[in-house]
Amino acid sequence: MTIQIQNLSKIYTSHVKEPGFLGSLKSLVNRKIIEKKAVNDVSFEIGEGEFVGLIGENGAGKTTLIKMLSGIIFPTSGDAKVLGFRPWERKNEYKKNFSVIMGQKNQLWWDLPAHDSFLLLKDIYEIEDSDFKKRLDYLTETLGMQNNLNTQVRKLSLGERMKAEIIAALLHSPKVVYLDEPTIGLDVIAQESIRKFLKEYNEEQKTTIILTSHYMDDIEALCERVVIMDNGKKQFDGKLAGVIEKYANEKIITLNFADEIEKSSLTKFGAVVSLKQSQVEIKVNRKNSTQIAGDLLKNYEITDINIRDISVEEIVRNIFKEGN
């Protein structure tokens, strides 16, 4: 097993401050300490070359878990081994074999072209000249970044910057990669191209990858297996197909009618989620959503129609409700 996590927990302590100036004064003298279980007794294993999606709402503990696996923070209790190393012991042999990409943080030097940062990483990770050239050519080509390496990072677009970050993180051929929200804030085209790249990369290089994302599309395109977390606890661990079948077998159709509409006349199509004057949201079965949409368009005068998946957030909420 490449990654083994056993009963891992992390408790953060912080103090609460009452609002306002008086609250500040009070907290100077007497601080109330509160504890938050960010990760609560989580265990699972990941094999070599697996691409696992880690999903959950904000504050579910995904990032804390990744921070522990990267050795950035110490766990409060429990144990984990990645490639045979305990991450927070921060052994150089471990550091040379993993990488972490954070969508909201950058490791590239802001004021210098990305290529300069790559050279620094080459020296830090002690990559041979010939390997470095091969890796860099391969990565820039597959990500389509040939023309952007000599521009200062601060002048790149968000999508280009993310691609440069990905190149930086993969230069030393890590065996394990943690991706924390790699597509956050990107437009659909950039998201799509990063997704495509990651899929190919995982298949070709047999790299073990853990991905956290808010976009169900990311997870669906990339991960066969998902681990769902809620409130620091592991709620689900299994095939993604299972999750979608079990929890996301519905789609939401949003309709704008030309005239006001009665709720009762729509119930035969699916469950009406919301009805605001002429705008209606209907939850329908995933399989025949297009057919229902067709029927609706035939029978009513509709000015706008939109079909979307249930978001990860909603799925997680469903799972959490069931857990209770």
Q: Provide the minimum distance between the beta carbon of 94 and other proteins in the complex, in angstroms, as a whole number.
A: 9
Which structure tokens are listed for 171? Answer: 């230069």
| One residue of 4, 43, 107, 279 binding other proteins per CB under 8 A | 107
Phi, psi at residue 79, to the nearest 5°? Answer: -145, 155
Which structure tokens are listed for 224? Answer: 């066969």
- Kindly tell me which of 27 and 107 has the beta carbon lying closer to other proteins: 107
For tokens 């790699």, the residue is: 182
Q: Binders of other proteins among 158-217, rule CB under 8 A?
A: 180
150 binds other proteins (CB under 8 A): no
Q: Provide the minimum distance between the beta carbon of 203 and other proteins in the complex, in angstroms, as a whole number.
A: 25
Question: x-or-dash pattern for other proteins, window 108-127, by CB under 8 A?
Answer: -x-xx---xx-xx--xxxx-
- Kindly tell me which of 73 and 307 has the beta carbon lying closer to other proteins: 73
34 binds other proteins (CB under 8 A): no
| One residue of 37, 81, 86, 95 binding other proteins per CB under 8 A | 95
Could you tell me where the beta strands, DSSP code E, fall in 17-71? 32-46, 51-55
72 binds other proteins (CB under 8 A): yes
Q: What are the residues whose beta carbons fall under 8 Å from the beta carbon of 296, sequence distance 6 or more? A: 253, 255, 269, 302, 305
Q: Provide the minimum distance between the beta carbon of 55 and other proteins in the complex, in angstroms, as a whole number.
A: 18
For tokens 């265990």, the residue is: 43
Ordered DSSP codes for 37-52: EEEEEEEEEE-TT-EE
256 binds other proteins (CB under 8 A): no
Ordered DSSP codes for 262-322: -STTTTTTSEEEEEETTEEEEEEESTTHHHHHHHHHHHS-EEEEEEEEPPHHHHHHHHHHH
What does the alpha-carbon distance between residue 310 and residue 251 come to, in Å, rounded to a whole number?
6
Q: Provide the minimum distance between the beta carbon of 253 and other proteins in the complex, in angstroms, as a whole number.
A: 38
- Kindly tell me which of 116 and 313 has the beta carbon lying closer to other proteins: 116
- Kindly tell me which of 104 and 324 has the beta carbon lying closer to other proteins: 104
53 binds other proteins (CB under 8 A): no
Closest-CA residue to 187 (of 210, 157, 229, 209): 157
- Kindly tell me which of 126 and 301 has the beta carbon lying closer to other proteins: 126
What does the alpha-carbon distance between residue 293 and residue 313 come to, in Å, rounded to a whole number?
24
12 binds other proteins (CB under 8 A): yes
Q: Provide the minimum distance between the beta carbon of 74 and other proteins in the complex, in angstroms, as a whole number.
A: 6
Distance of CA 32 to the CA centre of its chain: 33
Binding residues for other proteins (CB under 8 A): 12, 63, 67, 70-74, 90, 92, 95-96, 98-100, 102, 104-105, 107, 109, 111-112, 116-117, 119-120, 123-126, 152, 180
